Amino acid sequence: MINPQRIQLLNNNPVLGEHQFVLYWMQASQRVTENPALYFAIEQANQLKKPLVVFFGVTADFPEATRRHYQFMLEGLLEIKNQLKQRGIRFVLGTQGPVAGVSQLLGQVAVLVTDCAYSRVERLWRKQVAQLAPCSVIQVEGNVVVPVGVASQKEEYSAATLRRKIEPMISYFGQEVGEIDCVISSHDIETGIEEASLDSIERLLDNLSLVQTPSALLKGGEHIAHDALDRFIDQHLCNYAKEHNNPANPAISQLSAYLHFGQISPVEIYNRIAPINLPDVPVYLEQLIVRRELACNYVLFNPNYDKYEGLPAWALKTLTGHAFDEREYLYSYTDLETAQTHDPYWNAAQQELVGTGFMHGYMRMYWGKKILEWSPSSKIAFETALHLNNTYQLDGRDPNGFAGVAWCFGKHDRPWANRAIFGNVRYMNAKGLERKFDIKEYVKRVESLIKSKS
Ligand SMILES: Cc1cc2nc3c(=O)[nH]c(=O)nc-3n(C[C@H](O)[C@H](O)[C@H](O)COP(=O)(O)OP(=O)(O)OC[C@H]3O[C@@H](n4cnc5c(N)ncnc54)[C@H](O)[C@@H]3O)c2cc1C
């Protein structure tokens, strides 16, 4: 059963009963398990006694998407295709781009169901599809525990302000949808559009002319996401509160890229973790729900979420006040990208990012703070950090990435004691890393991770 507050009509058009099939335009929830949009589309198809077709439109133009992102995504889509086939549902992959691909199908679609995303481009695609479609277009929000617009109707100031609102709603919205089967198979449907083959992911990637980045350490797909969740629960959850911030010996889930591509449902993770009787559970759920959904709130309600101007007024003011402070170290974008700084800890973090596609969360904070300290201006620093983050993190281009980079510049934080360059924005230094953990062990860990890859 889908909570009705997850469902939104995107236009006022009718169901076109004479048309051939129900379409699920999959975009943000790239999974078969625990996917409310897929569940809703199957329900619609069964009620209308029609087959269901699932379409995914790949575009090489997605802002800042690179080869490593698409490799991970296509690995997941191949698994989806095979799983849907077993359930009698035809999966169509197009490389015309999502809106162009969906438009080519519209003449056959009785009802169009889609999932929900928050970034500017993803919202624009949905708006365009809803305007173009002669049939009813319905969005089902499945990548958060509490629907973002239900949790709050405005941009929240901090985790504390959102937490008060969201916590009482978590168990109500934390209900899983489960699975239903399609009554009518869509195997034999001819869509008439040009389809891309997933037989060779490498060949498809070559044809997409993407910005080249080395492949990441993690592989994409629902099965691998579930294995990672099992491993986290068995081996690391019991140390999460104590060790999740320790980059030398991390007790983390590494689910962020799977969550970013919608390859695993946060509701499913919540239901696996919440019943476990460990003091680490609320600490983990704070990250998975409060922090993650605070980032979605930021992206949905702040029109400048990806710009320096999106920072809070106090942070902009204090950074401007320190614009002319002397910088002891100044690095160019290329110095930073190639990890050529004087700081071995920062360089290790950057090497982890470029070499593996994942940087430990605590190092992400240090990494962003140092980019602010070593750049000619705070605006250049913001743009550098966001671009490196979005290009190289496998989980980049996500609300968490926009909010995470903005946090390094004061977003969702409070003013701290005044100091050079940072003004009242929170400062971090290498001594803090040395005091808190065996940071040299982190540097060694990164070296061996990168060696294991080659
Ligand atoms: C500068 C900077 C950049 C960041 N860029 C990204 C990004 O591009 N994509 C991304 O998903 N996260 C980003 N984060 C947030 C966070 O660091 C990562 O989500 C986390 O490290 C991913 O590792 P994990 O899955 O093992 O997390 P776990 O510790 O296992 O946490 C579980 C889940 O909770 C969520 N979560 C954890 N920490 C945060 C947080 N601080 N804010 C919001 N959600 C959180 C994530 O979805 C994560 O997968 C960034 C943080 C900073 C400071």
What pLDDT tens digit does each residue of the chain (454 aa) get?
899 999 999 999 999 999 999 999 999 999 999 999 999 999 999 999 999 999 999 988 888 889 999 999 999 999 999 999 999 999 999 999 999 999 999 999 999 999 999 999 999 999 999 999 999 999 999 999 999 999 999 999 999 999 999 999 999 999 999 999 999 999 999 999 999 999 999 999 999 988 888 889 999 999 999 999 999 999 999 999 999 999 999 999 999 999 999 999 999 999 999 999 999 999 999 999 999 999 999 999 999 999 999 999 999 999 999 999 999 999 999 999 999 999 999 999 999 999 999 999 999 999 999 999 999 999 999 999 999 999 999 999 999 999 999 999 999 999 999 999 999 999 999 999 999 999 999 999 999 999 987 7
CA of 419 to the centre of ligand 1 (A): 27
Q: What is the pLDDT, as a whole number, of residue 324?
A: 97
Q: How far is CA 59 from CA 208, 395, 442, in A?
A: 8, 18, 37
Q: What is the pLDDT, as a whole number, of residue 215?
A: 86
| 442 close to 363: Cβ distance less than 8 angstroms | yes
Both 379 and 352 in a single domain? Answer: yes
Q: Return the sign of the alpha-carbon dihedral for residues 156, 159, 165, 169.
A: positive
Both 139 and 21 in a single domain? Answer: yes
Both 123 and 230 in a single domain? Answer: no
Domain termination site, one of 268, 300, 332: 300
CA of 379 to the centre of ligand 1 (A): 23
Q: Which of 143, 400, 411 to mutate to test the pocket of ligand 1 (most atoms within 8 A of CB)?
A: 400
CATH of the domain at 272: 1.25.40.80
Distance CA 288, CA 406 (A): 18
Number of domains in the chain: 3
CATH of the domain at 435: 1.10.579.10
Atom of ligand 1 nearest to the CA of 294: 43
CA of 400 to the centre of ligand 1 (A): 6
Q: What is the pLDDT, as a whole number, of residue 453?
A: 78
Q: How far is CA 39 from CA 57, 68, 258, in A?
A: 20, 29, 20
CA of 108 to the centre of ligand 1 (A): 41
Q: Tell me the one-letter amino acid at 183.
A: V
Answer whether residue 204 is part of any domain. no
Q: Which of 236, 395, 402 to mutate to test the pocket of ligand 1 (most atoms within 8 A of CB)?
A: 395
Both 282 and 411 in a single domain? Answer: no
Distance CA 296, CA 317 (A): 25
Q: Which two tokens stand for residue 423?
A: 């003004």
Task: Give residue for tokens 């943000």.
Answer: 28
CA of 161 to the centre of ligand 1 (A): 19
Atom of ligand 1 nearest to the CA of 288: 34
Both 307 and 399 in a single domain? Answer: yes
Would you list the DSSP string of 370-424? HHHHHSSSHHHHHHHHHHHHHHH-TT-SSHHHHHHHHHHTTTTS-----BTTTBT
Answer whether residue 199 is part of any domain. no
Answer whether residue 114 is part of any domain. yes
Both 276 and 385 in a single domain? Answer: no
Atom of ligand 1 nearest to the CA of 258: 49
Distance CA 114, CA 107 (A): 17
Domain termination site, one of 117, 143, 169: 143
> What residues line ligand 1, using a CB cutoff of 6 Å?
244, 252-256, 259-260, 287-288, 291-292, 295, 361, 364-365, 368, 389, 393, 395-396, 398, 400-401, 404-405, 407-408
Q: Which of 233, 235, 256 to mutate to test the pocket of ligand 1 (most atoms within 8 A of CB)?
A: 256
Atom of ligand 1 nearest to the CA of 385: 1
Q: Which of 246, 287, 398 to mutate to test the pocket of ligand 1 (most atoms within 8 A of CB)?
A: 287
3-state DSSP call for residue 335? Answer: helix
- Please list the residues that pair with 24 across neighbouring strands: 54, 113
Atom of ligand 1 nearest to the CA of 365: 53
Atom of ligand 1 nearest to the CA of 240: 29
CA of 180 to the centre of ligand 1 (A): 32
CA of 263 to the centre of ligand 1 (A): 16
Both 383 and 442 in a single domain? Answer: yes
Question: Atom 39 (ligand 1): residue with closest C-alpha?
Answer: 287
CA of 213 to the centre of ligand 1 (A): 21
Answer whether residue 208 is part of any domain. no
Phi, psi of 115 (to 5 degrees): -100, -170
Task: Give residue for tokens 């950074």.
Answer: 319
Both 9 and 120 in a single domain? Answer: yes
Phi, psi of 98 (to 5 degrees): -65, -45
Q: What is the pLDDT, as a whole number, of residue 39?
A: 98
DSSP 8-class letter at 13: P
Distance CA 429, CA 416 (A): 15
Atom of ligand 1 nearest to the CA of 295: 43
Q: What is the pLDDT, as a whole number, of residue 319?
A: 98
Answer whether residue 235 is part of any domain. yes
| 405 close to 396: Cβ distance less than 8 angstroms | no
Q: What is the pLDDT, as a whole number, of residue 65?
A: 87
CA of 262 to the centre of ligand 1 (A): 15
CA of 255 to the centre of ligand 1 (A): 9
Q: What is the pLDDT, as a whole number, of residue 214?
A: 85
Q: How far is CA 194 from CA 56, 61, 74, 377, in A?
A: 12, 18, 17, 47
Atom of ligand 1 nearest to the CA of 393: 8
Question: Atom 46 (ligand 1): residue with closest C-alpha?
Answer: 256
Both 334 and 448 in a single domain? Answer: yes
Answer whether residue 234 is part of any domain. yes
Q: What is the pLDDT, as a whole number, of residue 41?
A: 98
Distance CA 210, CA 62 (A): 10
Q: What is the pLDDT, as a whole number, of residue 37?
A: 98
CATH of the domain at 10: 3.40.50.620
Distance CA 349, CA 105 (A): 45
Both 286 and 374 in a single domain? Answer: no
Answer whether residue 132 is part of any domain. yes
What domain range is 263 assigned to?
223-300
Closest listed residue to residue 334, CA positions, set 398, 388, 407, 289: 388
CA of 314 to the centre of ligand 1 (A): 25
Question: Atom 23 (ligand 1): residue with closest C-alpha?
Answer: 254
Both 288 and 320 in a single domain? Answer: no
Domain termination site, one of 143, 174, 206: 143
Answer whether residue 39 is part of any domain. yes
pTM: 0.98
CA of 361 to the centre of ligand 1 (A): 6
Residues 6+ positions from 434 with CB-CB distance below 8 Å: none
Question: Atom 12 (ligand 1): residue with closest C-alpha?
Answer: 400
Both 351 and 289 in a single domain? Answer: no
CA of 366 to the centre of ligand 1 (A): 14
